[in-house]
Amino acid sequence: MIFLDTSFLYPLFNAEDDDHQRVRAVFESQRGRRLADLLVTTPQVISETITLIRNGQRQGRPDSRTRHRNAVHAGERLFSGRLARIHRPNEEDERAAFEHFRRHDDQTYSFVDCLSFVVMEKLGIREAWAVDSDFTHRFIARPGPA
């Protein structure tokens, strides 16, 4: 099982992003496999991804309607459950994530990252598809930071 992070999903759905080709290569390496058997993510990661796409947060800022259409497309793909299994954290997971967030003022972890770490530990996942360095502190990140 591999965790699917926002930092991977955003460039996957945004061909203008600098990391698009790197994440696409990782994604394509699994062609022919049933991705929901391999990948897991959370509703929080999906929400974060949809919001980033809608707001045009990184490279390229198409018009508002195009960003909305792209965000809807990503949401449909992600909420279908075909791209990844969706694990729904419980209240205990959320509290543990907040405690992790509270303790790590030396890091730039988002709360969603901390929740992802808790979920990964709970499910025994050691690898994340991610491009940011947040996951490299405790896990394997593919393709990892540029």
Instruction: Report pLDDT for 28.
Output: 94
Instruction: Report pLDDT for 129.
Output: 98
- Domains of the chain by range and CATH? 2-89+125-143 (3.40.50)
Give the least confident one: 40-49, 52-61, 117-126: 52-61
Instruction: Report pLDDT for 64.
Output: 83
Instruction: Report pLDDT for 137.
Output: 86
Query: What pTM value is reported for the model?
Result: 0.92
Task: Estimate the crossing angle of helix 6-13 against helix 43-55, to 10 degrees.
Answer: 40
Rounded to whole angstroms, the Cα distance separating 55 from 66 reads 11
Residue 88 DSSP class: -
Where are the strands (E) in 2-84, listed by range?
Answer: 2-4, 39-41
Residue-wise pLDDT tens digits, 53-81: 998 755 456 678 888 999 999 999 999 99
